[in-house]
Amino acid sequence: MNATVNPAPIQTDLGAIFVSLELSRSTWLVTSLSPASGEKMSKFSVIAGDAADLLSRMSVLRDKALHRTGRAYPIITIQEAGLDGFWLHRLLTREGIESNVVDPASITVSRRRRQAKTDRLDGETLLRALMAHKRGEPRVCAMVHVPSPEEEDQRRVSRERKTLTGERVTHVNRIKGLLYSQGISGYEPLHKDRRKRLDELKTGDGRDLPVHLKRQVSRELDRLELLLEQIKSVEAERNALLGSQVKKANQPQVEMLLGIKGIGAEVATILWTEALYRHFDNRRQIASYAGLAPTPWQSGSIDREQGVSKAGNPRLRVTLVQTAWLWLRHQPNSALSKWFRERTQANHGRRKKSTIVALARKLLVALWKYVTSGVLMEGVITNKV
């Protein structure tokens, strides 16, 4: 006879002071619930960024609980991941306070058409979510994995390069637009002879470039050349970062990524710094982190797919979709490329965009298995061959 397995009980007496932090640019609203205070939540606000005042107020909460109960209680806090970053979390942790950073999109909210929203209500919602999470209730909210200061700093290299390349595109398009308004096409601002070509340009009706237009384009070229130098500097930092990761005996994952044909320095940097440096329990977790997990809609006889959730890391998701297109070119005989061709041929060439997103998800899972377990995908070409 099989023994009956009793479910794990949900804890009700957690013995702690629960504090939620609703952070804004001007003020921080602090909502707390202390032992022996009934169900009454206390609220106070501090000036944004005044960590000393916040710690002082938390010390007062601890002293009041000690006076009421004769027992010292720990403080457990929760805050949403946002523009404030993780510095406050690190400060609280250093002061011996348990800090939790939650993904705001994972918190359950009212489904009413017009729901009330204030900082006070948000603070209470955060506090209830924290208490439910500490009681052990499943799927109440998703806590964010806080990177170390070194891991967070390493991300800036690839993120800054993406920002600079976006600004480069803006300046190139602006220069081409200015010249096109005068009947000039075919001018490439990124070519090395851009200054010489600018002096030789003629308008569509055969005139020299107007004086002020030429000066404006010249100033745009000055900004463009500065961007090109900055991009070159950032790429040198990226290559140095990759070199330092490759040299680490306990971290061969970056070298493994660079060894696959079709994955260059920029893609390897983003894959490593944005995702693969972390621990994931299974393929569903890593797909969800990238926002590539499917979102079914099932109710009664209704059963349809809404597409990927897009709730994860946007930089990682965009890079994976771009890498998936490159994968088809550089790894045509791999199992994933064959799967993509079979799927699109079955649809007579339609739905390529949705299929490439599915390929991006499969590619991420395959790369994760490769760097963690050494399992290489079937038919993949490496640079060492």
Of the chain, the percentage scoring pLDDT greater than 90 comes to 64
Q: Considering only CA atoms, which of 242, 252, 263 is closest in space to residue 382?
A: 263
**Counting Cβ atoms within 10 Å, is residue 132 exposed (0-12), middle (13-18) or buried (19+)?**
middle
- Average pLDDT of the chain? 89
Task: Quote the number of domains for the chain.
Answer: 3
Q: Based on the domain organization, do 173 and 153 belong to the same domain?
A: yes
Q: Which residue has the higher pLDDT, 310 or 214?
A: 214
**169 closest CA partner among 158, 157, 177, 181:** 177
- For 166-210, the pLDDT digits (tens) are 999 999 999 999 999 999 999 999 999 999 999 999 999 999 999
Q: Give the whole-number percent of the chain exceeding pLDDT 70.
A: 94
Specify which residues 208 forms β-bridges with: 202
CA distances from 271 to 135, 179, 190, 194, 294 (A): 35, 39, 28, 35, 21
pLDDT at position 1, please?
A: 45
Segments forming the whole domain that contains residue 347: 253-373
11 lies in a domain? Answer: no
User: Are both 74 and 161 inside the same structural domain?
Assistant: no
Q: Is residue 6 part of a domain?
A: no
Average pLDDT over residues 46-74: 93
Output the pTM of the full model: 0.80
Separation between Cα atoms, residue 345 and residue 343, nearest integer Å: 6
Instruction: Give residue 4's pLDDT.
Output: 55
**What angle separates helix 149-180 from helix 211-247, to the nearest 10 degrees?**
150
Question: Per the domain annotation, does 169 fall within a domain?
Answer: yes
Q: What's the DSSP call for residue 4?
A: P
